Amino acid sequence: MSKQRVVIGMSGGVDSSVAALLLIQQGYDVIGLFMKNWEDDDTDDYCSSRQDLIDAASVADIIGIPLEAINFAVEYKERVFSQFLAEYKAGRTPNPDVLCNAEIKFKAFLDHAIGLGADYIATGHYAQVSEKDGIFQLLKGEDGTKDQSYFLHRLNQAQLSRTLFPIGHLYKRDVRKIARDHGLPNSSKKDSTGICFIGERPFREFLHRYLPHEPGEIQAPDGTVMGKHNGLMYYTIGQRQGLGIGGIRDSDGKPWFVSSKNVARNILTVVQGHDHPALYRPSLTAIDLTWISGQMPHCNWVYAAKTRYRQPDAPCAIGYIGHSKCRIEFAQPQWAVTPGQSVVVYESNVCLGGGVIADDINEKTPGKMFDFPSHSSP
């Protein structure tokens, strides 16, 4: 009986390297695939993929698998980067890693792998897949400090059914130990910074190359002008650093935070103090919804949600849900909910899916908060 073939995305990092090693130990026919997703300004100074490819090739040689390099730069620019720029231009703060996973790593990559005769694809993500009653579920990674299910919430049944996450049950320290024990040269390599096309580049300088900046006023909620901003796209909700108004303090000496962005008037509003009420939202509207099972969650049921990566699970309920949007209500108001970022819904350790946070969070939701029931599953 022939071995099942797995094509694994190898980034040159320790996670995908150990994932490939584990697949070999499990008896799969493994092929490594290095994806180059960015070409503009790809220099040694910032986001060079050259060293990553060298690292991936070194590991492939040591563990004895073939490695193919493929260029997805065109697909990346069309499917991910164009939306990244459009969102920033609209004053929102997008999360391109979410879109990259759905459109490149688990779509373009999957299509290419199937062409190579793959039964499955694999990556070094800290997440897990299980099957229950014919439905594939995305589960959190065992290492709660590294869980990456937030970035994978847009995957569908067809993608999950062909996906393996070999290190999802491991802790990061164990992954590095396995790499050391097997003499992998990247066992101590630092984790990537996330957005591959930005890397270590100065963010403002990078964004300015693609979008014109439009300076405007920084105002307090009462309309008092506090200073000037360089363009709304450079700021995000909850931001404290880089406002240029640090010396403007009242008697209590609290720092200033971005509370909202008015794109139509090109005004950045700031408030004083981390716990200012304007920084908290009891609910949000999400659009561009994706539910992993293909079925919408229940309304008025207790779930948990994250409005940003590494945020603790926040108890919530879905007050309204349709095909195009839903309303998520939290048990406790959430800090710095940011339009353009993803809100991801969980039931225990199962990732149900989520959507993109809409702009309407600037409208305070009056009245009574949702009265949470005592149960948590249908």
Instruction: Tell me the DSSP string of 276-325.
Output: -GGGEEEEEEEEEEEETTSSPPPTT--EEEESSTTPPPEEEEEEEE-SSE
Active site residue 100: yes
Least Cα distance to 353 among 330, 321, 311 occurs for 321
**Residues with Cβ within 8 Å of residue 131, at least 6 apart in sequence:** 137
Catalytic residue among 196, 316, 326, 351: 196
Q: Within 10 Å of residue 371's Cβ, how many Cβ atoms?
A: 8
377: buried, middle or exposed (CB in 10 Å: 19+, 13-18, 0-12)?
exposed
Residues belonging to the chain: 378
Helical residues (DSSP H) of 70-156, grouped into ranges: 73-76, 82-89, 96-100, 109-115
Contact criterion met (CB below 8 Å) for 105 and 124 = no
**Which amino acid is located at 34 in the chain?**
F
Contact criterion met (CB below 8 Å) for 141 and 184 = no
Beta strands in 108-254 (DSSP E): 120-122, 127-132, 135-140, 163-164, 216-219, 225-229
Strands 342-347 and 350-357: antiparallel
Sheet with 256-262, strands from edge to edge, namely: 225-229, 216-219, 267-272, 256-262
First-last CA distance in the chain:
43
* Tokens 């819904």 belong to residue: 345
Catalytic residue among 100, 316, 326, 351: 100
Helical residues (DSSP H) of 156-240, grouped into ranges: 157-160, 172-181, 203-208
Catalytic residues: 100, 196
